[in-house]
Structure 1
Amino acid sequence: MRLGLSLGYWGAGPDPQAAERVAAAEDLGFDSIWTAEAYGSDALTPLAWLGARTTRVRLGTSVVQLSARTPTATAMAALTLDHLSGGRMVLGIGASGPQVVEGWYGQPYPRPLARTREYVQVLRQVFARERVEFAGEHYAFPHPGGTGLGKPLRPTVHPLRADLPVLLAAEGPKNVALAAEIADGWQPLFYAPRQDGHYREALAEGFARPGARRTAGDFEVVGMVQVVVDDDVEAAADRLRPMLALYIGGMGARGVNFHQDVFVRMGYADECARIQEAYLAGRKDEAAAAVPLRLVEEVALVGPRAKVAEEAHVWRDSLLTTMVVGGDPATLRTIAEVLG
């Protein structure tokens, strides 16, 4: 299992330690660095800026949102970054949710799985330097209306790799099965290695579909895992509880929160209901306090160094091929030592 560095997306502004963290990760032998986007900073610009300071690590997006760009625009950015980095680009994409898609991008949110399938088909055409011709339910190239002057085009740039890897961010079983069928890898969020049976079943279903692109043996699973080393287990968990409360309680409307659904499938329906009720009522501290330690330990490594090292075997034996972690350079060094 390899290590990757999570750079995430910005809060009010850029992380002043980002370049230092990237340098530390490459020096420590990390495999990759990963940027993200929500409705502030984008994933591609920081990846190019910080990737220019590296020579070896792979450069991944975790994730680029489908609704932010047409598939051809995303493909242009990916093949450009792949050339500039000497073949180190990894394109992670995701459908996001209706609050962001409709609220930020001003677009409808129909049938995310079908849209994802079509999006990837168009990406593959560009990476293969084919003339882009596609008539789908959600995407059409050339545009079937307008002036009528549109014609099938292929990229002027010769892609460095026709097989530039595409990873899908997915949480629900149907979307995970789609990743196994059409993508080169899967990016889970809040992956619980002790409760991954439904994920294994979904992946197996996708690999068994006619025309599946990969097999279990050459498929990437790149998951972000929070690692907090602290002599006090509860203190370590406290550093993660506000974030978990945000995702469980506030990242999505009531009844349409895909992150919460992950924890409900783990058996935490009652806890999730309490967390969401408090969070949506503005009682964020109460919501964080309602996150039980056992839930934190399902998806994170927390506690004294010896405990983290002992529990790491569960993750090494899991589906993950790359564990993506965060922290300042000193924390990254500790994680590398404990998990190495």
Structure 2
Amino acid sequence: MRLGLALGYWGRGPDPDHVALAREAERLGYDSVWTAEAWGSDAFTPLTWLAAHTSRIKLGTGIAQMAARTPAATAMHALTLDHLSGGRVMLGLGLSGPQVVEGWYGRPFPKSPLTATREYVADIRQVLRRERSRPYEGPDGTGLGKPLRSITHPLRADLPILLGAEGPRNIAQTTRIADGWMPLYWSPLRTGVYEASLADTPKDFVIAPMVRAKVCDDPAEGLLAVKAMLGFYIGGMGTRGRNFHADLMARMGYEEEARHIQALFLDGRKEEAVLAVPDAFADEISLVGPRERIAERLAAWRAGPVTDLLVTAPDRHTMRVLAELNS
């Protein structure tokens, strides 16, 4: 199982420590470093900056939002950075949800998310293979679109594409059209939740969940950050009737708790929503506590189908401990 460092997206501004963390991850033997985007900083620009300050570590978008760019624009970003970095890019993509797609990007959320994802990935692969583009043929177009091929020859036609998928059918489709899957929540105790969707996983398929890691004396204290994240995603990233993150928690055996968290958050009781996140759920999807406890729990992650563990570890001590335990 390979280790990756997931730096996420910026908050109020850029983190001045990200370059140093990426360099430390490379020194420790981490296989990859990942950046993200929400509704502020983008994923590709910080990753380009990290590429200029590292030499070997793979560079992943974890994840870039499909609504932010046309497939051709995303392919241009990926092939450009792949050239500049010497073939180190891993393209992680996600459809996001209606709240972000319509609220931030001002675009309609697709009526058929699976079709939209499939066509988006196919269009990117078309660019990377230098095949001719598919011109726009909608009723409000001019009809003058010309099929084009990329002027720049991509460094790799098989640049890896990974998808962030949550629903069972979306995950199953991911195994057919992508090179890897980036689960939002992964529990080594509940791999059966995804068993049917992963039944036809091809050889060398990447499964790369993000996991909050923290070496600390008190697991309860270390889990506070995990619960804060879960409270926001499960409670606030969607509406009462449509929240993909809450639905996923429900499928993982915590349906009553997920709906309770969601109700508290949407009623403006955000602190109560965070406290309502079960410690058990937060604990099983993270690696928190003393070194010995993390070592024991890491064995369960290594025993399953996970190929890459993308660690959201803000401190160097945790990064070093994980590298030592995973060696």
TM-score of the aligned structures, taking structure 2 as reference length: 0.96
- How much does 1:229 deviate? 1.7
Which of residues 231, 237, 261 in structure 2 aligns to 1:275? Answer: 261
The Cα shift of 1:79 comes to 0.6
Which of residues 212, 221, 229 in structure 2 aligns to 1:243?
229
Asked if the contact 2:235/2:246 (under 8 Å) is kept, the reply is: yes
Q: 1:318 to 1:292 in 2, by over 3 A?
A: same
Q: Shift in Å at residue 236 of structure 1?
A: 1.6
Number of the residue aligned with 1:334 = 321
Amino acid at match of 1:157: T
Tell me, in whole angstroms, the C-alpha distance in 1 between the residues paired with 2:124 and 2:245.
27
**Cα distance in 2, alignment partners of residues 247 and 61 from structure 1:** 19
Structure 1 residue corresponding to 2:206, chosen from 206, 220, 237? 220
Task: Give matches, 1:35-46, under 5 Å.
Answer: 35-46=35-46
Indicate the residue corresponding to 1:211 in structure 2.
none
Deviation at 1:265, TM superposition (A): 0.6
- Aligned residues of 1:78 and 1:89 also touching (Cα < 8 A): yes
Give the Cα separation in 2 of the matches to 1:9 and 1:143.
Answer: 35
Matches within 5 A, 1:1-340: 1-110=1-110, 111-133=112-134, 141-144=135-138, 145-205=140-200, 207=201, 215=202, 217-326=203-312, 327-340=314-327
Question: Matched residue of 1:191: which SS?
Answer: coil
2: CA distance, partners of 1:238 / 1:72:
40
Paired amino acid for 1:331: T
Shift of 1:143: 4.0
Q: How far 1:200 sits from its partner (Å)?
A: 2.3
In 2, Cα distance between the equivalents of 1:97 and 1:147?
A: 31
* C-alpha contact 1:5 1:25 (8 A) present in aligned 2: yes
CA deviation after TM superposition for structure 1 residue 330, in Å? 2.8
Give the C-alpha shift of residue 337 in structure 1: 2.4
Structure 1 CA distance, aligned partners of 2:39 and 2:321?
A: 32
Aligned-pair CA distance for 1:59: 0.5
Rounded to whole Å, the distance in 2 between the matches of 1:227 and 1:339 is 13
CA deviation map 1:25-54 (0-9, x unaligned):
001000000011111100011000111111
Instruction: Give the deviation of 1:268 after TM superposition.
Output: 0.7
Give the Cα–Cα distance (whole angstroms) in 2 for the partners of residues 53 and 271 of structure 1. Answer: 44
Q: Which moved more, 1:3-12 or 1:194-203?
A: 194-203
Check conservation: 2:63, 2:94, Cα contact below 8 A: yes
| Alignment deviations for residues 266-315 of structure 1 (CA, whole Å, 9 cap, x no partner) | 11111112211221222222111111211112211122211111111110
Counterpart secondary structure, 2:22: helix
Identity %: 56
Whether the 8 Å CA contact 2:9–2:37 is kept in 1: the answer is yes
The answer as to whether partners of 1:20 and 1:329 remain within 8 angstroms in 2 is no
Residue 157 of structure 1 deviates from its aligned partner by 0.3
Cα deviation, 1:58-80, whole Å, max 9, x if unaligned, reads: 11001111111000010111110
Q: 1:156 to 1:309 in 2, by over 3 A?
A: same
Inter-partner Cα distance in structure 2 for 1:153 and 1:166? 22
| Cα drift, residue 325 of structure 1 | 0.7
**What's the offset of the Cα at 1:332?**
1.3
Aligned positions, number:
324
Amino acid at match of 1:21: L
SS in 1 for 2:195: helix
Contact 2:217-2:290 within 8 A present in 1 as well: yes
- Unaligned runs of at least 5 residues, structure 2: none
* Residue identity opposite 2:86 in structure 1: G
Contact 1:242/1:284 (8 A) holds in 2: no
Structure-2 separation of matches of 1:143 and 1:89: 32
Cα displacement string for residues 99-143 of structure 1 (whole angstroms, at most 9, x for unaligned residues): 00011111111211110000111111100001113xxxxxxx244
Contact 1:9 1:43 in 2 (8 A): yes
Paired with 1:225 and 1:165, the residues of 2 have a C-alpha distance of: 21
Displacement of 1:151 after TM fit?
Answer: 0.6
User: For residues 142 and 282 of structure 2, what CA distance do their matches in structure 1 show?
Assistant: 55
Q: TM-score, normalised by structure 1?
A: 0.92
8 Å contact 2:240–2:263 — kept in the other structure? Answer: no
Residue 137 of structure 1: aligned partner: none
Contact residue 36 and residue 43 of structure 2 kept, 8 A:
yes
